[in-house]
Structures are given as C-alpha cells and as structure tokens.
Amino acid sequence: MLTLVTGTGYTGRRVLLTLPPDSAIGLSRSAIDADRPTAVLDLDTATSLPIDLPRRYAVIYTVPPAGAAADERLLRFLPMLSPAPSRFVYISTTGVYGDCGGEAVTETARLNPGNERSALRVAAERLLSDWAQEQDCELVVLRAPGIYGPGRLGLDRIRAGMPVLSEESANPGNRIHVDDLASCCIAGLSGSVPAGVYNVGDNDHRTSTWFAGEVARQSGLPSPPEISRAEAERQFTEQRMSFLRESRRVDTTKMRETLGVALRYANPEDGIRASLS
C-alpha cells in the first residue's frame, strides 16, 4: 500500500527513508535530495495534491501546525484527500496534557494544554477525529515528547556554555530518539494495530539537565553551568520556560504492548552515542 509521508523535515525524512522505496512518496514544501519519490506540496498555499491518489493508501502526517486558533495547514490538506486514506497517522505532542505536577499520564488523562502550541495540537486531534469518523478512516495519533537524534542534541548551546536548570529544580524528562519515532509511525500503518491514541517515548524520565550533561560528557565537553529556576526565569526565553514549567511522566505502556514497538534506544545514553557517531 502506498504511504504519503506529508512533511519531510527532521522526522518525516527519517520516516520516508525507513519505508521501502517503492511504497512511499514524500510530500515537502520544497524539493529535497532523497533516494525516494518526492513531490512538492506547500501547505501554506496549495489547493490540490501534486499527485494522483490511488484507491487505497495511507498518510503519515508530520507537518507542524500553523495558525492562531486552528491548524490552517491541516485544514487545507484534508479536503485534498479524495478518496480518503484507509489509515492516517498523525504526530501530536505530549504537551497536550499540560502540567501534571510530575504525575504519570496515560492516554486517558485529561487534556490541559498550557500554551498556544499545545492548544493547536489538541484542536488538530479533535479535527482529525471528526474527519476520520466521517470518512471511515482509521486514525492513529502518536503523542510524542522531545525528539532528539543526529543534529538534535543541543551541542551548540553546550559549546557556547549556555546554562541549564539546576538538577534539583528540573522536572522529569520525556524524550524519544527520531529513529524510534519513525518506527512508531511505521507500526501505526499496520492494520493489525488498533486505531487510537498512543503515547510514545523511551520511558526514561531523567531530567533535561541530566541529558545535556550526558551529551557533554560523551562529546568531551565541559558540563553546562546550572542555574536556579528563579535565575532561569530571568535568562531563558519564554518559549524555553514554557517547556520547563510543565512536569509529567509520560506512560508508554500502550506503545509497547499494543502498538508493539520495541525501542532501539530505550536507554538515552545509547541514543546519544548513536547520534554523535
């Protein structure tokens, strides 16, 4: 079955390159260099797809939302899908849960987005749920935490000596290696996997401060200086602080037991090592 990988940025490109070459087409806002079929689709302006759709196909959607109150890119994309896909895999965010005071959260937890980015994801999930029901399309939503991998380790900040929140002030961490997220996307295509919402992540909740220190250690760099939360409020951008204020431990039992994904990098130390090499 053909899969449209919509959005070939950091994660989408990884997904596209993992799928068999004759089973996927990448849709990107600009031409990319890849040994896979690709077509240009700018969801900020497009009104139709650049390809003809087969009778049976699937979509993996990795495009970040854009808009003030609704994801205008997704709103523009869905009417182009005629006929509708048999399955739609959407990458959302664990930010939809908001601040949970460090408690564990499963897929049934109340959605309480604490910022505009996460609120757009909640709106997108609801839009997709309604659309998929109308179109008789199976929807798989992957709620992903922070994504790391090659080129996404924060090395420039570490080299620049930029501070991190002190370990005692830091909240539990949630993250996933980009290759493991790609595996979750591909697992979501399988008709044997129930449609629904899945938290994805490595289930390792060591802090972002620990992560930065481990990247520095493996890179042979000095550990980043640590500052208090009060000092971080003065120094860090509002966007960075919006992440650091929220605290939760994302439960990924359903990912392992129902989605059936065995992570390659369940230990982020291994994921960091692989990303550096």
- For position 72, which CATH number holds? 3.40.50.720
pLDDT at 71: 94
% pLDDT > 90, the chain: 94
Residue 274 belongs to a domain: no
173/47 Cα distance (integer angstroms): 40
From start to end of the chain, where are the E strands? 2-6, 24-28, 38-40, 57-61, 87-93, 104-105, 138-144, 146-148, 164-165, 175-177, 196-199, 226-227, 249-250
Residue 167 belongs to a domain: no
Residue 170 belongs to a domain: no
Mean pLDDT confidence for 22-39: 89
Q: Which of 24-38, 123-137, 153-167 has the lowest mean pLDDT?
A: 24-38
Q: How far are the Cα atoms of 55, 75, 90, 249 from residue 98, in angstroms, in the given order?
A: 39, 24, 19, 11
Please identify which residue in the block is written with the tokens 């077509």: 39
β-pair partners for 91: 142
Residue 235 belongs to a domain: no
Residue 262 belongs to a domain: yes
Mean pLDDT confidence for 234-244: 91
14/147 Cα distance (integer angstroms): 12
Name, in order, each residue with C-beta under 8 angstroms of 172's C-beta and a sequence gap of 6 or more. Answer: 102, 205, 206, 207, 247, 248, 249
Residue 184's pLDDT band, with cuts at 50, 70 and 90, is very high
Mean pLDDT confidence for 146-153: 98
Residue 108 belongs to a domain: yes
pLDDT tens sequence across 248-257: 999 999 999 9
pLDDT tens sequence across 47-90: 999 999 999 999 999 999 998 888 999 999 999 999 999 999 99
Domain enclosing residue 41, as ranges: 2-152+175-206+248-267
Residue 71 belongs to a domain: yes
pLDDT at 34: 78
Task: Domain count for the chain, please give it.
Answer: 1
Taking each helix axis as running N to C, give the angle between helix 208-219 and helix 268-276, from 0 to 180 degrees, rounded to the nearest 10: 40
Residue 170's pLDDT band, with cuts at 50, 70 and 90, is very high
pLDDT at 36: 85
pLDDT at 35: 81
273: pLDDT strictly greater than 80: yes
pLDDT at 33: 77
Residue 25's pLDDT band, with cuts at 50, 70 and 90, is very high
Cα R_g (the chain), whole angstroms: 19
Task: Determine the 3-state secondary structure of 126 from DSSP.
Answer: helix
Average pLDDT taken over every residue of the chain: 96
Task: Determine the 3-state secondary structure of 207 from DSSP.
Answer: coil
22: pLDDT strictly greater than 80: yes
47/77 Cα distance (integer angstroms): 8
Q: Could you tell me if 188 and 255 are in contact, meaning their C-beta atoms sit under 8 angstroms apart?
A: no
243/241 Cα distance (integer angstroms): 5
What are the structure tokens assigned to 15, written together?
């997904």
Residue 63 belongs to a domain: yes
32: pLDDT strictly greater than 90: no
